[in-house]
Amino acid sequence: MNIFTRIREDAAAARSHDPAARGVFEVCVVYSGLHAVWWHRASHAMWQQGMRFLPRALSQITRFFTGIEIHPGATLGRRIFIDHGMGVVIGETAVVGDDVLIYHGVTLGGTGHEAGKRHPTIGDRVVIGAGAKLLGNIEIGHDSAIGANAVVVRSAEPWSTLTGIPASARPRRGSPVAERPDEADFYVI
């Protein structure tokens, strides 16, 4: 996939998630979440080729201009949209799936000085609410929703809604595994 196709795809994702988006030009020029993702792709490519200083420097420059810090070692999927991204931090071993929506103040971080995989893995089509903290080597299943300011320290199955401190998981509305849809409706985000 060429870079222009990827940019068009990202802009379309931003427009579909943000009702205030007025057009592709505006989205491409003023959306800092998109800029952070685009610069991350460049720094991640360098990181994968064994460079260390230049990609880290690029990520810090991007952080200065966007308020979003994405480690060049993190793996991001397609069509990720970081809405109002100020304060977003994504750690080195984090893996984020496709079509993920991340709001401001979200942290995908570690819990200490562990070696190896120490940041979350996020499935496809996950929504992460403002201020949520996902900590440690945990996995969040596809189609899950994480409430604002939730602190998630345990893995969750697909189609989960996670809220609270520490977050607890419940079936998300529309879940194919919810036993009683009327009960699952209560827990929608």
Mean pLDDT of the chain: 91
Cα(122)–Cα(135) distance, rounded to whole angstroms?
Answer: 12
Domains of the chain in start order, with CATH, are 3-185 (2.160.10.10)
Average pLDDT (151-169) is 96
pLDDT tens for each residue of 83-118: 998 999 999 999 999 999 999 999 999 998 888 999
pLDDT digits 0-9 by tens, 109-146 = 999 888 899 999 999 999 999 999 999 999 999 999 99
- Reported as a single tens digit per residue, the pLDDT across 69-86 is 999 999 999 999 999 989
The pLDDT-based confidence of 182 (bands split at 50, 70, 90) is low
Q: Please, which pLDDT band fits residue 187 given cuts at 50, 70 and 90?
A: very low
Return the exposure string of 25-57: e unless at least 16 CB atoms fall within 10 Å of the residue's CB, then b: eebbeebbbbbbbebbbbbbebbeeeeeeebbe
Rounded Cα gap, residues 143 and 168, in angstroms: 16
